[in-house]
Amino acid sequence: MNFQCLPMKFSRENGLDTRCGEIVLMNEKGRSWKLTLKRKRSCGTMYITRGWRSFCSANGLRAGSSFTFKLIKKGGTLALRLSPKKREDCSSEANEIESLSTEPESDEESSQDEKKIKKHRSTWKATASQYQNRFVTLTLKPSNPEKYLLFLPLRFTRWHGINDETKMTLLDKNGVKWSTDLRSGKTSDKIRLVGGWQEFFKSNCVRTGESIILKLIWEGDKSCVLKFCSKVEA
């Protein structure tokens, strides 16, 4: 898939959630690529598209690798610069963002931007590809069938911008699809599955206490699939 999502919290804190349009990505040598920054209408997630795959290919960013971007200036055309990789250890690497621009800036503008950058959080953990954080683990607890409640991890739904307007389907190990609805909690942002998930667990022979790994696959801005991958070995 030819896009890269930005964490919603990062987008909001840096004012990127209203900055649709052209964005420039630069590598360590200064070569630049013009891409597009867009916003998913269904959930508000910002994502970079129209050229992301070419940028990754040209700079050796493969699925599962890690990278660091720096955001130098927020005014004018946004631009992110790829920083040199310091080490191969992926366990502690993060994407750093501070703001970028290909346009000249005055001393006053530069000073104002530096203050804004210091004020907001400018880092997030991620891998270098569109496959980042697309796997989620769900556990069938004894209370789930009794109360008919199954929640998705809050961190997972926030990262991908999944809400009660998102259309979701569950895909079992035999390729059978199970429809489910998403509902948000009355007192929290947690998203729960309504209908379909119990049959989905049964079709995959999941017993109480067992956990399974699912992969998120988007089918447009508003629809997605959680595909069964495997059981978690005890």
Nearest alpha-carbon partner for 75 in 115, 43, 48, 38:
115
Average pLDDT over residues 145-150: 75
> How far are the Cα atoms of 24, 51, 62, 106 from residue 55, in angstroms, in the given order?
11, 6, 11, 30
Tokens of 33: 């690529």
Tokens of 124: 């997030």
- For position 13, what pLDDT does the model report? 75
Tokens of 110: 């530069």
Average pLDDT over residues 139-148: 77
- For position 19, what pLDDT does the model report? 82
The torsion angles phi and psi of 45, rounded to 5 degrees, stand at: -70, 135
Tokens of 61: 């960013």
N residues, the chain: 234
Q: What is the DSSP letter of 70?
A: E
Which tens digits make up the pLDDT trace of 70-101?
776 667 788 788 877 654 433 333 334 333 22
Phi-psi region of 140 (alpha: psi -120 to 50; beta: other; left: phi over 0): beta
- For position 194, what pLDDT does the model report? 92
Which tens digits make up the pLDDT trace of 175-203?
999 999 999 877 777 899 999 999 999 99
Instruction: Using DSSP, state whether 51 is helix, strand or coil.
Output: coil
Q: Is 7 exposed, middle or buried (0-12, 13-18, 19+ CB in 10 A)?
A: buried
Burial 146-175 (b: 16+ CB within 10 A, else e): eeeebebeeebbbbbbbbeebebbbbbeee
CB 49 within 8 A of CB 75: no
Nearest alpha-carbon partner for 46 in 78, 92, 91:
78
CB 105 within 8 A of CB 75: yes
64 pLDDT above the threshold of 80: no
